[in-house]
Amino acid sequence: MPVLVFGGPYSNLQATEALLAEAVRRGIAPENIICTGDVVAYAADPQACCDLIRTSDMAVVMGNCEEALAAGAEDCGCGFDADSECAALSSQWYAYTSSRVDRRTCDWMATLPARLDLQIGGTRLAVIHGGNREIARFLFASQDEALRQELDWAGADGVIAGHCGLPFTRMLDGRLWHNPGVIGMPANDGTPRVWCSLLTPTDTGLTIEPIALAYDHAGAAARMRAEGLPEGYATCLETGIWPSEDVLPSSERAAGGTALLPQPVHWESQVELREVA
Nearer to Fe ion, 205 or 230 (CB): 230
**29-40 burial: b if 16+ Cβ within 10 Å, else e:** eeebbbbbbbbb
User: Which is nearer to Fe ion, 63 or 158 (by Cβ)?
Assistant: 63
Give me the least distance between CB of 130 and Fe ion, in Å please.
6
22: phi then psi, degrees, rounded to nearest 5: -65, -40
CB of 63 to Fe ion, least distance (A): 5
Beta bridge mates, 159:
126, 177
Q: Does 163 bind Fe ion (CB under 5 A)?
A: yes
Nearest to 182 by CA among 54, 89, 43: 43
- Please give the helix or strand (H or E) that residue 54 lies within, else none: helix 46-56
- Taking CB under 5 A as the criterion, the residue among 63, 167, 181, 210 binding Fe ion is 63
1-40 footprint of Fe ion as x/- string (CB under 5 A): -------------------------------------x--
Q: Does 97 interact with Fe ion (rule: CB under 5 A)?
A: no
Nearest distance in Å: CB 90, Fe ion: 11
At residue 152, what is the residue type?
A: D
Residue 178 within binding range of Fe ion, rule CB under 5 A: no
Other C-beta atoms closer than 10 Å to the C-beta of 159 total 24
Non-local (6+) Cβ contacts of 69 within 8 A are 40, 97, 98, 101, 106, 109
Piece in contact with Fe ion (CB under 5 A), picked from 22-30, 58-66, 84-92, 141-149: 58-66
Is-contact 75 94, C-beta < 8 A?
yes
Rank residues 16 and 123 by Cβ distance to Fe ion and give the closer one. Answer: 16
Residue number, 163 or 170, with CB nearest to Fe ion: 163
User: Measured from the CB of residue 271, what is the shortest distance to Fe ion in angstroms?
Assistant: 30
Residue closer to Fe ion by CB (options 22, 38) is 38
Whose Cβ is closer to Fe ion: residue 163's or residue 178's?
Answer: 163
Cα separation, 8 vs 61, whole angstroms: 11
Minimum Å gap between C-beta 85 and Fe ion is 17
Rounded Cα distance between 93 and 63, Å, is 16
CB 159 within 8 Å of CB 125: yes
For residues 272 and 205, what is the distance between their CA atoms, to the nearest angstrom?
A: 10
Rg of the chain (C-alpha set): 18
CB of 33 to Fe ion, least distance (A): 19
Closest-by-Cβ residue to Fe ion is 163
Nearer to Fe ion, 246 or 268 (CB): 246
Q: Does 64 bind Fe ion (CB under 5 A)?
A: yes
The minimum distance between CB 97 and Fe ion, in angstroms, equals 13
Q: Which residues bind Fe ion (CB under 5 A)?
A: 38, 63-64, 163
